[in-house]
Amino acid sequence: MSRVQFEELLDASCHFGHLKRKWNPAMAPYIFMEKNGIHIIDLHKTVEKVDQAAEGAKSIARSGRKILFVATKKQAKETVASMVKEVNMPYVTERWPGGMLTNFFTIRKAVKKMSDIDRLIESPQFQNISKRERLQISRERAKLEKNLGSISDLSRLPAAVFIVDIMKEHIALAEARKLAIPTFAIVDTNSDPRLVDFPIPANDDASKSIAVILKAICDAIREGQAEREMNKDRMEEEMAEMNAENEGEERENDDREGGRRRRVSRKNNE
């Protein structure tokens, strides 16, 4: 069964593209028709691409790796933040910090600085510094939290990047491509889908359109995480059974060895 239904996409206005004069010819395979100067996206192709992207996201989640979501446009920020937070994935909804991926070590230093400030605030010596310095530290902490708080748990480069609007987030896309990190993206009729590993042709400006596609991806991630937990529990059970069997065999061997020694001892005494 498909992750999304044709009717869902239609109701969410996923089929509305950009004006014909703004189109990218590479999107031609995903365009159904033109109406009143606006390109209409083929939602049958969208359903197919959502399914492919969802399976890819599920596979990554099952392996325990992270997908970084990027959406700094106003229509997508709140939707991405709320949905992605529920599946415990990192996201960027404020300004994309240049070098976020290509200079990841420096970004990690900034995140560590945020943790250091937290420890300082909680320590008794924070009250011993001047009020002005405390205010400066608090402001710096708030700025770091706004820009990097959502990626504080990202200890290594993500396994993939999901982008809403590759035209707006072209720097994020360029960094991911430079590092050969797989990319997922909602691509509108003004975008080049060839730049993305898992393109999803759809309206990337309407909040409803973004939400319905993002929900399908997040549901797939949830499934992957649930399967990972099930596999983990199954492995633990199998390990426990193997350990119990090994202990049983060891006891059996010890009993046999003990019996042999007793027989030898009796024979020697005779």
Tell me the pLDDT tens digit for each residue of 104-132. Answer: 988 888 888 888 888 888 888 888 888 88
pLDDT at 99 over 70: yes
Number of domains in the chain: 2
* Residue 90: CATH number of its domain: 3.40.50.10490
DSSP 154: -
Instruction: Based on the fold, state whether residues 164 and 151 are members of the same structural domain.
Output: no
Residue at a domain's end among 139, 156, 173: 156
- More confident of the two residues 248 and 204: 204
- Is 221's pLDDT higher than 90? yes
Range of the domain at 208: 1-97+160-224
Instruction: Please measure the distance between the N-terminal and C-terminal CA atoms of the chain and give it in whole angstroms.
Output: 79
**What phi, psi does 201 have (nearest 5°)?**
-70, 120
Give the pLDDT of residue 114: 83
- Asked whether residue 64 is domain-assigned, the answer is yes
Kindly state whether residues 59 and 77 are assigned to the same domain. yes
Q: What is the spatial order of strands in the sheet that 16-19 belongs to? A: 16-19, 38-41, 31-35
SS (H, E, C) 63-121: CCCCEEEECCCHHHHHHHHHHHHHCCCCEECCCCCCCCCCCHHHHHHHHHHHHHHHHHH
Evaluate if pTM is beyond 0.85. no
What DSSP state is assigned to residue 226? H
Tell me, yes or no, whether 133 and 181 share the same domain: no
Q: Do 171 and 190 belong together in one domain?
A: yes
Does 254 fall in a domain?
Answer: no
Give yes or no: residues 85 and 164 share one domain. yes
The answer to the question of residue 240 being in a domain is no
Residue type, 267: K
Is 229 inside a domain boundary? no
